[in-house]
């Protein structure tokens, strides 16, 4: 283990390459790292203590909140506020953005997050994750945060990443200079660099979509699914269908192996279902930095969308570049 580079060491090393770096972003990542370790500990207790199941309330999305949703939200919110680098956060579990008062109003960053993506899977021991997105504030320092701090397009992200809690716990992030993955070593209590310079294959043979909604999908998506299922030796079809129902888990697999994830519009969700700001933007940033592609519709890059509201939804297609482009062809017909 003496040869293994930890997350903290890696961040400091990267920071040293920028003479004007203040260390604020490094401190922010320390907060995320701490909260992730706390949430990981609780997730590993699932089934042993009373932390699974529904909390008995709905979030602003109208979705049933799980007990661990609330727990993860509180832990990340507390950790991000403690160091003073973050002046406010927006979360899937909060109706409105949260302004951090006191010294935190001098913070340079805002964080948008899905504290526990796929939390309904906890009860059946399926991998879940945390997604986060970091922006520089645009409001004046020393003042409360404003709508404009959070309603920035994804191409303004300073950093983004996710933590996946599975057979091992990993933190994967980008600051716009490639993607790196760190695996948590519980015996040492540290995240160690395990996947440096992650890149996704240009093409793949895995498609991830909830085919139970097939009847509600646009015609172009239906045709693409049939294309994936057809037999054709030259293009290595049929493809393999893999859908977990946890965005982080599905994306993580496809990032490494090559594949595509689709959550298109449907008759039940005409604007799409996934949230632009704290799900699609950070995942799209990671995908592009790893050599992949993410769009909302043909020719419409996710990271160029200008959000109009905090919990805005969008259709989402992300993954290996050639596979995304093939979907765009079907949707454009």
Tens digits of residue pLDDT in 235-263: 999 999 999 999 999 999 999 999 999 99
Same domain, 33 and 172: yes
pLDDT tens-digit profile of 180-233?
Answer: 999 999 999 999 999 999 999 999 999 999 999 999 999 999 999 999 999 999
Same domain, 290 and 190: no
Q: What is the reported pLDDT for 92?
A: 93
The answer to whether position 186 is within a domain reads yes
Lowest mean pLDDT among 66-75, 91-100, 129-138, 315-324: 66-75
In sequence order, what DSSP letters do the residues of 212-277 get, joined into one string?
GGGGGS-HHHHHHHHHHHS-BGGGTBSPEE---S-HHHHHHHHHHH--EEEE---SS-TT-SEEII
pTM higher than 0.85: yes
Q: Which of 148, 172, 195 is the last residue of a domain?
A: 195
Number of domains forming the structure of the chain: 2
- Residue 96: give the domain boundaries: 7-195
The answer to whether position 201 is within a domain reads no
Same domain, 83 and 133: yes
- The CA–CA distances, whole Å, from 284 to 48, 95, 209, 256 equal 36, 24, 17, 15
The answer to whether position 247 is within a domain reads yes
Confidence band for 104, pLDDT divided at 50, 70 and 90: confident
Is the peptide bond preceding residue 238 cis, with omega within 30 degrees of 0? Answer: yes
């Amino acid at each position: 283990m003496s040869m293994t580079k930890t997350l903290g060491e890696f961040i400091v090393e990267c920071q040293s390459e920028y003479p004007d770096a203040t260390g604020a972003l490094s401190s922010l990542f320390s907060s995320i790292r701490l909260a992730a370790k706390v949430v990981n500990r609780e997730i590993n207790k699932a089934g042993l203590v009373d932390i699974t199941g529904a909390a008995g309330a709905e979030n602003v999305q109208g979705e049933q909140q799980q007990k661990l949703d609330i727990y993860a939200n509180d832990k990340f919110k507390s950790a991000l506020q403690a160091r003073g680098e973050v002046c406010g956060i927006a979360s899937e579990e909060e109706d409105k953005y949260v302004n951090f008062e006191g010294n935190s109003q001098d913070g340079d960053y805002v964080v948008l997050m899905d504290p526990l993506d796929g939390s309904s899977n906890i009860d059946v021991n399926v991998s879940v994750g945390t997604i986060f997105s970091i922006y520089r504030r645009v409001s004046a320092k020393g003042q409360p945060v404003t709508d404009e701090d959070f309603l920035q397009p994804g191409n303004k992200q300073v950093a983004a990443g996710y933590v996946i809690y599975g057979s091992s716990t990993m933190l994967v992030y980008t600051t716009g200079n490639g993607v790196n993955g760190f695996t948590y070593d519980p015996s040492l209590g540290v995240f160690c660099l395990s996947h440096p310079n992650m890149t996704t294959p240009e093409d793949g043979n895995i498609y991830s979509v909830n085919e139970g909604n097939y009847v509600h999908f646009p015609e172009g998506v239906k045709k693409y699914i049939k294309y994936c299922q057809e037999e054709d030796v030259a293009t290595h079809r049929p493809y393999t269908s893999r859908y977990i129902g946890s965005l982080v888990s599905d994306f993580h697999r496809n990032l490494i192996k090559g594949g595509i994830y689709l959550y298109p519009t449907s008759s039940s969700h005409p604007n799409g279902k996934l949230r632009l700001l704290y799900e699609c933007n950070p995942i799209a940033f990671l995908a592009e930095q790893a050599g992949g592609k993410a769009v909302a519709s043909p020719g419409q890059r996710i990271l160029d969308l200008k959000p109009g509201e905090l919990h805005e939804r969008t259709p989402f297609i992300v993954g290996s570049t050639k596979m995304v482009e093939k979907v765009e062809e079907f949707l454009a017909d």
